[in-house]
Structure formats: structure tokens, C-alpha cells
Amino acid sequence: MPYCPECEEEFRPEIKMCPECRVDLVDALKQAGDNLAVAFTVMYESKAHIIRGYLENEGIPCQLENATFNMEPVPVPALMKVMLWTRKEDVERARRLIREHEQFSVCSACGGVVLDEDRVCDFCGAGLES
């Protein structure tokens, strides 16, 4: 069934243009996340909120997705991650800003955000450049 990309109304197959919006119909609507990509993965939610605030102050909107698996009594580092999603066109600028920021570095192997003083990536174990 064709859909209007503006009002998202569904139409019969023989209709080619939305009568309300006056635009050509499409076969499928874009999904909300189609324009988003993971810019960073961090281990702690508190660090993710700091980075998010920093990037949003720089004009890059972010969304957080906490994919941490909590197991009592001790958290398992390999199962802890918070992903920062942003628009695909903002990913490179966001990574550049974080690399330039004095407290954080980005792992060149996996894109994880680590503290500047870290020598090994928390996510993939790769050695970090000084």
C-alpha cells in the first residue's frame, strides 16, 4: 500500500498522490531511527550524560540508550554500555569534538569513549595512543 510521506496516511494502490498534501506517495515510510547512528559507546551513564550535555551545547542533539545488563552484587564491565545516538550527519563532528575535549578520547578500534588518561579501551581492550 502506498503512503503519504507528509501526513503518513495509507492509500489504495491506484492512488498516486496525497489529495491533502499534494505530494507523490511512497511505498514505505521512513522509520524514526533511519537518520540516526551511534556516535559513541560509554561504560557509565553518568559519563554519557556529561558527553550528551557537552554535545548538545555544541548544537548536536543526542539520545541515550542504556544497554547495561545489571547483575547483583557486582556489575560486569563487559555487559555495561550506554550508547549515544545522534544524526548520521553529526557523527564525525561529534567524534571530533570529543577527541578535542580535554577529558575524553575515542578508541580508534571500536569508537568507545574512554578517559584521556586511560591506556587501554574499556570496551575492546585495544591499546590507546598517548
Q: What is the pLDDT of residue 100?
A: 82
Alpha carbon separation from 93 to 39, 75, 81 (Å, rounded): 9, 32, 22
d(CA 40, CA 83): 6
Task: Catalogue all structural domains in the chain, each as residue range(s) with its CATH number.
Answer: 1-30 (no CATH), 33-115 (3.30.70)
pLDDT tens profile 53-86 = 989 999 999 988 887 666 666 656 566 788 899 9
- pLDDT bin (cut points 50, 70, 90) of residue 90 is very high
pLDDT tens profile 6-57 = 888 889 889 999 998 899 998 887 665 578 888 888 878 888 888 899 899 9
pLDDT tens profile 101-122 = 767 777 878 777 877 788 888 7
